[in-house]
Amino acid sequence: SLEEFFFENSLQVQITPTKPATLQDECQTLTPELSDPNYKSLQFSIESTQFVQNKTISNLSKCTLQLKPIEFLEFGSFRSGHRLQWWNLLSALETDSLSMDEESVAVLITHALLQNGPFAADGKALMYSWCPESHQQLLENHFVDELIVRLERHLKDFESNWQNELVLIILTVVAIRIFTICNSTRKQRTTDLVLKCRNTGERWIQLILKSIHNPSSSDSNKT
């Protein structure tokens, strides 16, 4: 158990050691702010998972002309319920309902995937008590398999265009997050995906360097 390795002490971890902050203030500091006008009205969907989808629907009148209503709903509903976030990601990858090349979408997905908690009051109720409820799906092999298939498909679709850097960032973050939690039987497949992302990034670097030294050829490397 953890008690065998960790012992109580006087150490207190805070964002700033000179200005103690409440937990609510710390959460606000660590929560990214959406700056894109198309997504700014959906800030509430970044800040918490404790809201219902109807809240997003009720805000649909704030959807800008530049954003499709379906994407507004998908974005605003992504974190509605902490147990559903990974399922929502799987759905978004399958239906292409979120614009992965948008910075706000990258913020949404990254923030959701790196969430720590909530932890069940009774850890024994979970199959793996060390893993937060938000990420229990990553301990189900069939779910991980389906997720990796869709990640690989997206990587293949975008790997020829180095201007899709946000897509690559999202795919890499997702793959690494899977690796940190999934069962050992899925480690190798996840590692292979991470290496594919890395190889794609390295290839893009070479294309960018080539376009810098030879601007006239840069257009031929874009699709």
Supply the pLDDT for residue 35: 93
Residue 23 pLDDT grade (very low, low, confident, very high; cuts 50, 70, 90) = low
pLDDT tens for each residue of 33-76: 999 999 999 999 999 899 999 999 999 999 999 999 999 999 99
Q: Which of 32, 30, 53, 58 is nearest to 43 (CA)?
A: 32
Q: What distance in Å separates the CA atoms of residue 25 and residue 16, rounded to the nearest whole number?
A: 11
The helix-helix angle for 85-95 and 141-158 (nearest 10°) equals: 40
* Torsional class of 117: left (φ above 0), alpha (ψ -120 to 50), beta (otherwise): left
Q: What is the pTM of this model?
A: 0.82
Predicted confidence (pLDDT) at residue 220 exceeds the cutoff of 70: no
Report whether 45 contacts 77 (CB < 8 A): yes
Which residue's entry shows tokens 């794609």?
Answer: 200
pLDDT for 7 equals 72
Q: What is the mean pLDDT of residues 163-184?
A: 94
The pLDDT tens digits for 73-124 are 999 999 999 999 999 999 999 999 999 999 999 999 999 999 887 766 665 5
113, 49 Cβ separation under 8 angstroms? no
